[in-house]
Structure 1
């Protein structure tokens, strides 16, 4: 079956471009974390079906429904029966809905890569991220009441159109991974986007974003060396610069801290990032983060139910409430997954992700987009240490795209859906 999109599929190209834009937006409505991207996903699936391009991974869906049966039985019968806790039916349905939506994003990720529309998706994702970053930065200087209330958390932390400044910062890091790879005829536009995205990450006041940004630049250097882009005299200059930085690091660090102190006096939100360099332990546990307490609570739940996990719905928060008065989610994707789904399922999933991430691209013609998607996914892996991405739309979308780029299509075992007569 020919899966490459043609000029006749303009509506499909349009909605995939729109999806890239709406991946920058998410709001809580009616108790659900909703995004306009969810409507777009449904439209994309319908258009794929109408154009006879929809191949769903049968094995993935079979495993999902098997996992669903186990998860629901554990959440409804096993855990509530042991601990005598009330079943939160509404929250149970809400979490299962988020899980099913994650599966749809994973499936669409495979399809987008397969029909060669990754460029359209990521180009519009980058454009939207950059424009949102530019508008958000401008709000620190020109206050627009309605827009400032929407985009600035507590009036000082840039969140864009996301619910959480940490999530927003990781989204901006993912966009930065795109612009660092993309080729353009106007270099100034590329450099301007890089500056805007970096400033927006700092403007979020997210310590998670700052660490993710550093790790992104690190993996970019590693990839550049592996690809042969950094070699000979250029590699020598970089190693020389790093050696000088290391040699004079005490003086450079002091100058940096002094500069950050001046910036923090003008923009207090930067004091959160400054804390990472002056007191890392306080940065993790203080300033409203308290992640060490939430991580310890999540680990305690894992120890209590290592095989089955505690399930979805309100089970996690109710059992966490028995351990600590400040019960909250773990703010760590890996701990949250292990606590809710159990260690066996989480371990299998993480091993699968690792296999996909480290597998070479199946078709060399897709190498650049494969590396771009992997670097974007890497930012979410780093951000996962401090944010729960187990239901993140773009997290599962990128994983689906990586699956297609890493494995031959024959290994996906497609379940072809035909148009009804």
Structure 2
């Protein structure tokens, strides 16, 4: 590409996840976004043109930009999500490309857990499917703030407004049960490029933005910075005349002179300085990595937490949580012993009970004795040591955790905390 690059502001990053059933056109959509936004390097474009010619395609096969990574996932990579970075003059993006098969529910959970927006792709010919509902439910369960319903292949239904309205009406009725805060529907044709990067003249009845316009304009709400201050400590930094506590601010902000509470000791101190590699800050905010110096000498180490004294997290040894089970080799059942990794703290955990299992296409809950691969249910956990947590509904950062197999150290469960004591 001969054009000089333009770079988005550093603080405008939007992470979004894409989900869609097989053959709904998700790979083509991602390829179209990258191609039409001029985000491909010259050698990538040349390789795509060559590969398309070798396959006998007159047009560029944009799906090939991601199909290689999908093939790797389908060969058995357990919790792998393909990430692609691109940027425009207005915003930088990280795409978490998640697979559509029901058996890869765990991948969707992984990709959407840190997303600020999710795109659910639907084939205009088929309407809502079980997979469409599954993806919407997972987005709601993971508290993804915004959802885009991209009704694809509008060219194959003659760009018919009635077909689009029927799908969006059914989707709105379904998502009303999920508590999703913001849902936007956009009719597109990923193959032709209609309403992907540029607005389409083929659908004059649609007066909304193209998909990329919406992604550029959507407000990036910094959920972490708006919450209560939480700093899980990664390590203590010592030097002659210097002692600081380093970590990534999980939520909230902190400034010199403010009081903090240390957990688990319950001791309070005042912040002397907030340091970074670039110097001291007037105020540190999530998700910055900082080193905090305190006025008092407190024994603080990895896994401890500095937090706001007025509204601290719960120091919990018993949890109830929605768990997505990710292990193909075993089921999750009462008595299972695991490790729970929560922020920077890892503790031994015992499954004390299985409350119920969620049928994510109908939203119905039923009794369960165990959870199999990709199943989601309410689970009780008893911990050997406390973790300092908040409900996932209020804080995705301190309300989330993972379960780890003690023998293999494989990640086997995604945890969304619903109760703690």
Coarse TM-score class (shorter-chain normalised) = under 0.3
TM (normalized to structure 2)? 0.24
Instruction: Name which structure has the greater RCO, CA cutoff 8 Å, separation 6+.
Output: 1
TM (normalized to structure 1)? 0.24
Q: Which structure has the greater CA radius of gyration?
A: 2
More helix by share: 1
More strand by share: 2
